[in-house]
Amino acid sequence: MNSFSRRILCVDDDHDSCEIMSLMLHDASVNYRVTTVSSGNKALSLIADEPFDLYILDYRLPEMSGIELCRLIRQTDAETPIMFFTGMAREIDGKNAIEAGATKFLVKPTDLDILTETVEKLLNQSSFAFPVKLSAGNQ
């Protein structure tokens, strides 16, 4: 395994979304190790064992919402980027995610180039300052 691997945890209860996300990120960089789970409790269990470099959350999850999961992650980790990638498109949904501690909020479907560029930016920030809200147009 490459010592420069970046660990990404994708939490989405839709199996197809997880599969697409995993394949797309593997295609974007051989240095991305993507783990997918379908619930907040499974995510918390993995996070307790070893932290990740990026969390990608869906808004609606079984057992707890993505917002609740985001808040729980922030209780122990104030720095790792958290990105929502969700079908929830209302402005209030994005506002709630950012207030819960998310770094970025993207609505499905989005251009795959924007998604991979956003992931790359979040992983390569040299001085991550929580919280940061990036827009797709930021360089």
- Residue 112 burial (CB count, 10 A): 12
For residues 137 and 35, what is the distance between their CA atoms, to the nearest angstrom? Answer: 28
Q: Domain of 64: which CATH number?
A: 3.40.50.2300
Q: Roughly what angle, to the nearest 10 degrees, separates helices 66-76 and 91-100?
A: 20
In a domain, 53, yes or no: yes
In a domain, 129, yes or no: no
**Across 40-47, average pLDDT:** 96
**Across 42-48, average pLDDT:** 96
Per the structure, the count of domains in the chain is 1
For residues 75 and 84, what is the distance between their CA atoms, to the nearest angstrom? Answer: 17
- Residue 1 burial (CB count, 10 A): 5
Q: pTM here?
A: 0.86
Q: Roughly what angle, to the nearest 10 degrees, separates helices 15-28 and 112-124?
A: 70
In a domain, 35, yes or no: yes
What pLDDT, on the 0 to 100 scale, is given for residue 135?
Answer: 40
In a domain, 78, yes or no: yes
Q: Which domain holds residue 24?
A: 6-124
Tens-place pLDDT, residues 102-139: 999 999 888 888 989 999 999 988 344 444 443 443 33
Tens-place pLDDT, residues 6-21: 999 999 999 988 898 8
In a domain, 19, yes or no: yes
In a domain, 89, yes or no: yes
Q: Is the pLDDT of residue 27 over 90?
A: no
In a domain, 131, yes or no: no
CA–centroid distance for 67 within its chain: 12
Q: Residues 6 or more apart from 19 whose CB is under 8 A from it?
A: 36
Q: Is the pLDDT of residue 3 over 70?
A: no
In a domain, 1, yes or no: no
